[in-house]
Amino acid sequence: MSKQTNLVTPVNPMILGKLGSAYGIHGWLKVFSFTERPESIFFYQPCFIYSAGQWKHIKLIDWKHHNKNIIVKLSTVNNREQAIRFTNFDIIIDSIQLPKLGNNEYYWKDLIGCHVVTLQGYDLGSIVDMIKTGSNDVMVINTNLKDMFGIQERLIPFLHGRVIQKVDLSFKLVEVNWDPSF
């Protein structure tokens, strides 16, 4: 669980989820969480939205599971019409609120933008996205141009020790044991 901070605005903004459509007449909103466990999104306070060119603190006063969704109650929202004004806003925190990770653990936000090279030095491109699958995470690597194999985008599993040989975030570099002709 993350610690409470006294941030007025996020210094290093990070999207943690999204407010969805209004739910019911009492001002509840659906929430789409981008955290590993969906309800973990509520551990990070304060959280913000960015609206009309300024940061606005949103205070979550209650949340609950409803069917396969999570719904949330904001402190300043008391009816459906007010809730509709918050639809489709990103839920943002400051990345300093995230817990420290152990060895060989990485936040996706830190991996995106890293350059990926094979053990033989072949440049595969840069990580543009990550995908969560049932068994492992997958890197989406964009070559920007079609490479010598005619590939513009690669999907490579993020399997530490098997595929991932080295991650150096200070140099934004990921070294992989991967045949580029795949």
6: exposed, middle or buried (Cβ count in 10 Å: 0-12, 13-18, 19+)? exposed
Q: What angle do CA 130, 131, 133 make, to 5 degrees?
A: 145
Domain containing 116 — which CATH number?
A: 2.30.30.240
Domain membership of residue 151 (yes or no) is: yes
- Check whether 165 has a pLDDT greater than 70: yes
Q: pTM (2 decimals)? A: 0.71
Taking only the tens place, the pLDDT of each residue in 32-54 is 988 888 888 888 888 999 998 99
- Check whether 148 has a pLDDT greater than 80: no
Is 92 in the same domain as 122?
Answer: no
- Rounded to whole angstroms, the Cα distance separating 138 from 140 reads 7
- Check whether 145 has a pLDDT greater than 80: no
Structural domain containing residue 19: 13-97
Is 18 in the same domain as 93?
Answer: yes
Is 114 in the same domain as 158?
Answer: yes
Domain membership of residue 5 (yes or no) is: no
Is 73 in the same domain as 132?
Answer: no
Taking only the tens place, the pLDDT of each residue in 57-102 is 999 899 999 888 899 999 999 999 999 999 999 999 998 888 888 8
